[in-house]
Amino acid sequence: MAKDSSNGLKEFWAEIPKIDEDFLGSIRDWKNVQIASEQETIWLKGFTDEQTISPEIQQLPNFLLYELREGLLFRKEALVPTKKVRTALLWTPIDKALKLTFPISNNNFFGIDEKIEIKLKPSEEEQPALALLSSIAEIKESIIALPKFKLEKLDWIVINDKALFIGNPLLSFPGKTFWMKDNHLLPTGFDFEFRNLSSLLQKKYNVDNSQWLLWNEDGSYLNIHKNDLRKLSVSSFRLTEKAEEWN
């Protein structure tokens, strides 16, 4: 007799104390996950197999993951159930249930009920570099020797003693590279600790999309007005060099 293929589908539940609710911001953009509240416990369900072993899940404090089998909750791969499934819970998609709001007093904090410092963390996802920050002293001899076609697709701006180039393809100069997310320029290999912050930060600090927000790994950022960028050319570089009296 053929086996019912639906028997192979696993349904995962989880619980976390309400006092640790803020930490769920790291998975708030998992729209398949639903959340419900019961006294001092937050219940979640709807995880995929991949999500149950993700770094985001593993880093959650006091997080207990279960597999639902015939109305009973088993710790993952356990043979004996831990408890019965909860009933009469009011389920809501996690991105709707967790309302992130901006604090009034500190621009570098962002929270649910408590304030959470905005941080960047290493990301396993590879993203193409679309911006480069280079020391002018290191590149000024090389850039004037480049042909026009390598420069004309790039925009640039001077930031103190450095030049920020934006476009594709980038020049093969030494420096620090960034990738674009919304209107953020994030260091390559990094992303926001809470990924859903990206669009919310834009709504707060860049509502008209007139700026790039250039981020450092420590969570600080610099506003760059897009109108201040200019097309890259040898002549524009030399004019700026002369005006700034670079040596």
Which tens digits make up the pLDDT trace of 237-246?
877 655 454 4
Structure tokens at 185: 């320029």
What was the pLDDT predicted at 187?
94
Position 107 confidence tier, pLDDT thresholds 50, 70, 90: very low
Q: Roughly what angle, to the nearest 10 degrees, separates helices 234-244 and 136-143?
A: 140
Structure tokens at 170: 């980038």
- In whole angstroms, give the CA distance from residue 195 to residue 192: 5
- In whole angstroms, give the CA distance from residue 118 to residue 124: 19
What was the pLDDT predicted at 164?
93
What was the pLDDT predicted at 2?
39
Average pLDDT, the chain: 81
Higher model confidence: residue 79 or residue 107? 79
Residue 126 has pLDDT above 70, yes or no: yes
pTM score of the predicted model: 0.55
Q: Residue 205's beta-bridge partner residues?
A: none
Structure tokens at 8: 């192979």
What was the pLDDT predicted at 140?
83
- Tell me if 164 sits within 8 A of 131, measured CB to CB: yes
Residue 33 has pLDDT above 90, yes or no: yes
- Tell me if 154 sits within 8 A of 166, measured CB to CB: yes
What was the pLDDT predicted at 27?
86
Q: Work out the percent of the chain whose per-residue pLDDT is above 70.
A: 85
* Element containing residue 142 per DSSP (H, E): helix 136-143
What was the pLDDT predicted at 6?
40
- In whole angstroms, give the CA distance from residue 102 to residue 113: 10
- Tell me if 166 sits within 8 A of 130, measured CB to CB: yes
User: From the CB of residue 192, how many other CB atoms can be counted at a distance below 10 Å?
Assistant: 22
Residue 232 has pLDDT above 60, yes or no: yes
Q: Show Cβ contacts of residue 216 under 8 Å, excluding neighbours closer than 6 positions.
A: 120, 187
What was the pLDDT predicted at 113?
39
What was the pLDDT predicted at 108?
46
Q: Residue 11's beta-bridge partner residues?
A: 68
Position 87 confidence tier, pLDDT thresholds 50, 70, 90: confident
- Show the CA angle centred on residue 99, arms to residues 96 and 105, nearest 5°: 165
- How do the domains of the chain map onto residue ranges? 9-98, 122-244
| pLDDT, tens digit (0-9, with 9 covering 90-100), for 154-209 | 999 888 888 899 999 888 899 999 999 989 999 999 998 876 678 778 877 888 88
Q: Do the strands 230-231 and 211-215 form a parallel or antiparallel pair, or are they unpaired?
A: unpaired
Residues in the chain: 247
